[in-house]
Amino acid sequence: MITFLLILCAVFMVGGFVAYNPLRRKMDGIIGVGGAYFILIGILMLFASIGQIAGTISGTSNVSALEIILGIAVAVAGLGYMVIVMLSRCQTAGQRILLPFAAMFIGFGFCWRLLAAIFLHMPMESGKKNAMDEIEEAHDVSKMPSIIYDDGNNRWQRVTLNKDNATYRNDNGQEVFINSTEIFGNSANTSAGRVHW
């Protein structure tokens, strides 16, 4: 059992080191490093408490009842916080399922990233978006809905959607081609004027 847990920790440490930045970006606004650490400690204390209880029952462990109670209390606090985050900050079932794994990867990854920053002078980096990410997001055609409106509140329906452009047609049959460079947030400047969604 100990060997299995050590291998599992090694997998989470290596995976966390590699996946730290993408997970921080994906879970931005849901959980930070501190919350991830608290959930990680709760999960680890759950496994440790189960091991202590099993060892006490089998007679191979010599831990006090206070240690077991404190371990269970920390596990319940960490897992309780995870449930609160799942219910209050996660919007989809996918985010709720991903949360415990992401917390473990972020927690382990932060530890290794911190050590690499100290000893290898590697950049820490965080989950914050850089300027290029924000520019790409501001010009993202895939976020455009199937129906948009012009300044006269006329409806335009999407005809085609490509990686960097889309075509819309209004009820009069006029078409407008929208390139990704024309998009700014929830609006675009086009040949037919400004459209918004």
Q: Please give the angle made by the CA atoms of 188, 190 and 193, to the nearest 5 degrees.
A: 95
What's the pLDDT at 77? Answer: 96
What's the pLDDT at 1? Answer: 63
Cβ neighbour number for residue 85 with a 10 Å cutoff: 22
Q: Do 45 and 114 fall within a single domain?
A: yes
Q: Do 157 and 114 fall within a single domain?
A: no
In a domain, 130, yes or no: no
- Give dist(CA 197, CA 193) in Å, integer: 14
Helix (H) or strand (E) holding 158: strand 155-161
Please provide the average confidence, as pLDDT, over all residues in the chain.
Answer: 84
Q: Do 117 and 163 fall within a single domain?
A: no
What's the pLDDT at 42? Answer: 94
Q: Do 11 and 55 fall within a single domain?
A: yes
Residue 175: C-alpha distances to residues 14, 98, 143, 194 (Å): 51, 41, 19, 14
In a domain, 127, yes or no: no
Q: Tens digit of pLDDT for each residue in 121-174?
A: 877 765 555 555 555 555 677 778 888 988 888 899 999 888 788 899 998 899
- DSSP conformation class of 180: G
Domain that holds residue 47: 2-121
- pLDDT at 89 exceeding the cut of 60: yes
